[in-house]
A and B are shown apart, each in its own frame.
Chain A
Amino acid sequence: MVLKLKNLTKIYKNKGFIITALNDFTYEFKSGKVYGIVGLNGAGKTTLIKSICGLLIPDRGNVFFDNNPLYPNGMYNLKKIGAILEGSRNIFWNFTPIQNAKYFAYLRGLPLKETLNKAIRLFEEFGLSEKLNTPVRNLSQGMKQKIAITISILHNPQILLLDEPTLGLDPIAGNKMQEYILNFARDSDRLVIVTSHQLSILENICDKIIFLKKGCFVSSYDIEEIKMNSKKIKYIIKVEKGNTNNTSLLTSMFGKIVNSDNMLVLEFLPKEFELNSCIEFLIKKGFIIKDIEKIAPSLEDLFMEEFA
């Protein structure tokens, strides 16, 4: 499955104000991968997600599912999509998880018995087997989100859109959710698109990150590419204070030196010379190296660089 967005543009007009939420956005998503959409508040992430699933008709451009356009007459493509939308309840809180599964099974025209069995199996996997007949409103935020995810994939969608799926989840529930999203994409060769402000989560689950700024595509990166970017890798070298006269010498070489007790912590960016030559230099000058830590650039570093 290839999901192609071509020149997607959405302009909101309200009482004389014109806001371009999406501006000529073009991108191609491929199945088996998890994509993260990143941007500041109001960058157009939710508009993008809603345009893909037909909830927001773009002013210009189109969405293609394997070359089949969604607009104006391709709404049948929506059966390929499952979505969790931010700020939306996604499920009925007055219903039990089973009643929700039943309602959405009917709504999507799925075989009832088979779908309920699948839902029960997924609920059990999420540790909800004792809550099957409890109204959703009495369950925790994490449980609600797990039920919403389960309901959104009952029809076996080829594309899963998740707008802030881990919002309000505790770390354990958040980790479970991440694990689940990863398995969903990898095991069944599905396409997952996630938006989140929790960059560490995106870093854990995404294969590709797309930066969005004021509705425009800014750049996209492979997560591995970000981590392996040698120009941005830095090293933290801890050395024992030997000959303190050399401190001034180090200051000229290393951008940042932190003096703590009898240790010096040096931040080293291998721009001008390699790590080996740096170590050689320190030893030659009489420093005793206690620890070297390699720090790969994080998504947050990249985010700050793009948006700060």
Chain B
Amino acid sequence: MKKIISIIFAECYREFVYAKRYSIERFSSIVMLFFIFFGIVYSSTTSFGSHHLNNSDPISVSHRIVGFLMWFFALDAVGHLSSSLREDLHIGILEQIALSPYPLMFNMLGRSVSRLFINMFFAFLLFITFQLTFKVKIYIPITVFIFFLITYAGLYGLGLFFAGLTLIFKRLGPVTTITRFLLLIFTGAIIPLNTFPYFLRVFAQTLPMTLGLNIIREIIFEKTSLQAIFTNQNFYLFIVNSLFYLLLGIFTFIILEKKARSKGALGTY
């Protein structure tokens, strides 16, 4: 166990060195995300030739802020493991990292945990900026973090799934990009699900972020009690959904790492 924690620590150290070294790049991408969100909100509350942003529904904007921030975490959880593995393969360091008695899975966990902490800092910056820009106040109860972490576990599972595929198929960038935007559009993060046709609403429920985001919004905006959440059928669907994606990711990664070791694919790009 001590060794596994040490591997997670190694990956955290690596992520923090990278975050420090590439801080300008990271800040730029955060600024870009801010403008994307600004554009989304602004375009949905105005029509050409007239501006009535101030008249827009603040509840709708607040819902979008929470949805967008959740998607901000999903963006990284789904794509980072795959892209960091691709970078390791590309520069040729993966074999040296894999020269360990422990499966690469623990390295992936370390990367994800460290990115979660780094992203919490940036999400906080975005959260403050959004509230100031759109003149809304959102109070987030601490209990939300439990549901956030369960949602994140499902997203991490999907990220692991793509990371496993990257070990074999290498160039998976476009697939993870498409998935990330699917999550933005079809999970209700910025577009209300009730505007979709039925089959898309059903599809949305199967994605790893939709149910978690619904529960988080219920707690934040409708002040739903934990007891009411736990007695709701959707909560159990949410747990099953997150567990499904997490297990899918873990098993896919374990199987494909073994396959990569069989093919000698850890050292080729």
A89 in contact with B2 (CB, 8 Å)? no
Q: What is the CA–CA distance of A95 and B21 in the complex, to the nearest angstrom?
A: 9
In the complex, whether A29 has a CB less than 8 A from a CB of chain B is no
- Chain B hits for A102, CB < 8 A: 13
With A85-B267, A103-B14 already in contact, the answer to whether A77 and B101 are too (CB < 8 A) is: yes
Q: A16 within 8 Å of B by Cβ?
A: no
Asked if B17 is at the interface of the complex by the 8 Å CB criterion, the answer is yes
- Size class of A's contact patch? 20 to 34
- The stretch among B51-59, B91-99, B123-131, B174-182 that forms the contact with chain A is B91-99
Partner of B17, one of A12, A55, A79, A99: A99
Task: Report yes or no: B101 in contact with A106, Cβ–Cβ below 8 A.
Answer: no
CB contact between B96 and one of A79, A88, A105 (< 8 Å): that residue: A88
Across the interface, do A78 and B261 meet the contact criterion of CB distance under 8 Å?
Answer: no
Give the total of B residues in contact with A, Cβ under 8 Å. 30
CB-CB under 8 A from B267, the residues of chain A are 50, 55, 85, 87-88
Known A55-B99, A81-B99; contact A103-B93, beta-carbon cutoff 8 A: no
Say if the beta carbon of B3 comes within 8 Å of chain A.
yes
A85 cross-chain contacts in B, Cβ below 8 A: 95-96, 267
In the A-B complex, the 10 residue pairs with the smallest Cβ-Cβ separation, listed nearest first, are A106-B10, A109-B6, A107-B10, A109-B3, A89-B92, A88-B92, A56-B264, A76-B101, A57-B262, A78-B101
Task: Identify the closest chain B residue to A99 (Cβ).
Answer: B17
Q: A78-B99, A81-B99 are in contact. Are A50 and B6 (CB under 8 A)?
A: no
Chain A: minimal CB distance from B263 (Å)? 8
Complex: how many Å from CA A92 to CA B92?
Answer: 9
How far, in whole Å, are A92 and B91 apart by their CA atoms in the complex?
Answer: 9
- Tell me the bound Cα distance from A133 to B39 in angstroms: 43
| Residues from 70 to 111 in A contacting B, C-beta threshold 8 Å | 75-79, 81, 83, 85, 87-95, 99, 102-109
Q: Mark A1-41, 1 if CB is under 8 A from B, else 0.
A: 00000000000100000000000000000000000000000
Q: Does B258 contact A (CB under 8 A)?
A: yes
State in angstroms the CA–CA spacing of A105 and B102 once bound together: 15
A75 vs B101: C-alpha distance in the bound complex, in angstroms? 5
Residues of chain B with a CB closer than 8 A to A53's CB: 99
A220 at the interface (CB under 8 A from B): no
Q: How far is the CB of A245 from chain B (nearest CB, A)?
A: 66
Within 8 A of A (CB), among B76-111: 91-93, 95-102, 107
B134 within 8 A of A: no
